[in-house]
Amino acid sequence: MGKPDIEKIMAEIEGHGDLLLRFFVVFSRFEYALKKTNYWLFPGKVQPDWDRFGREFSFPVELADNSVLKAIEYFKEQPPKKQVYRNNGLDFDDIVFSAKDTDKEKLVKYVKTVRNNLFHGGKYPLIYQEDPSRNPKLIEACVTLLLFFLEHNKSVCDEFVGLD
């Protein structure tokens, strides 16, 4: 077994490195801020409770600027898919929502799904994808929404920027 060619793998993300780093920083600090503001799973799991945040957070869409509205529209028109195992391989399926899920809860689930797909693999140019041009658009939409969520949720934002 040979040494992996990391430079070849890094070349696959050429042109998207800044976006990926921005997403990583925003998402990871956001999750930290959720945990610091008691949005975490019980009992004793130090994992952010995205579902509860999706139900409870302030989402004044009437205050959204054009970039936020575009991100919301992109998710509605081109939602991310969930990675699944089927027929001895990896594939992607539509996300299934319950009838009670609100639009803001769906947006939170979309953001988390994009993160899961990116961090758990399957979103690289050398791996077949139906439309790889969607990936940077989905990631940018996530960053836009996460920053909007912060802008309108003071306690989470304070933890995000390091204020106690």
- If you write DSSP's letter for every residue of 105-117 in order, what string do you get? HHHHHHHHHHHHH
Identify whether 154 is part of a domain: yes
Identify whether 116 is part of a domain: yes
CA 91 to chain centre: 19
CA 51 to chain centre: 13
Identify whether 31 is part of a domain: yes
| Structural domains counted in the chain | 1
Q: What's residue 130's pLDDT?
A: 59
Q: How many CB atoms lie within 10 A of CB 142?
A: 26
Give the three-class secondary structure for 87.
Answer: coil
Q: What's residue 3's pLDDT?
A: 86
pLDDT along the chain (164 residues), means of 10: 78 79 95 94 85 92 94 95 87 91 94 88 52 81 97 95 76
What range does the domain containing 41 cover? 6-161
- Residue among 92, 89, 104 at smallest CA distance from 148: 104
Identify whether 38 is part of a domain: yes
Identify whether 1 is part of a domain: no
pTM: 0.86
In the chain, what are the helix, strand and coil shares in percent, each to the nearest 5? 55, 5, 35
Q: What's residue 138's pLDDT?
A: 92
Q: How many CB atoms lie within 10 A of CB 50?
A: 19
Identify whether 137 is part of a domain: yes
Q: What's residue 156's pLDDT?
A: 96
Angle of CA points 115, 32, 35, to nearest 5°: 110
Q: What's residue 128's pLDDT?
A: 45
Q: What's residue 120's pLDDT?
A: 74
Counting Cα atoms < 13 Å in the Cβ hemisphere of 132 gives: 11
